[in-house]
Amino acid sequence: MFGYQPDFIVKAIHQQIENGFEVGPQHELAGPVCKLICEFTGADRAALCNTGSEAVLGAMRIARTVTGRSTYR
């Protein structure tokens, strides 16, 4: 989308590394980033996931809740 290593992204990453980074479940910026995503997309809620597997698991849980289905058949 922005090409290979655009300067503004490289600069932002270096700045964040200098500021420190979290090793744990959520970074302190996760909330503000999700809020911006909701404003940009018009969605009611947004979530950040560490892996695709985590995202699919969350989607499956939401689908089961909405449809009322369980994991058992």
Comparison of pLDDT for 36 and 72, the residue scoring more = 36
Calculate the CA dihedral of residues 54, 55, 61, 63 and round it to 10 degrees: -160
Task: Give tens-digit pLDDT for 18-59.
Answer: 988 777 778 888 999 999 999 999 999 999 998 999 999 999
Q: How confident is the model at residue 73 (pLDDT cuts 50, 70, 90)?
A: low
pTM of the model: 0.60
Whether residue 35 contacts residue 47, with contact meaning beta carbons closer than 8 Å, is answered with no
Q: Say what the pLDDT of residue 61 is.
A: 92
Q: Which amino acid is at 62?
A: I
Per DSSP (E only), the strands in the chain are none
The structure tokens listed for 66 are 């909405």
In angstroms, the CA 9 to CA 4 distance is: 10
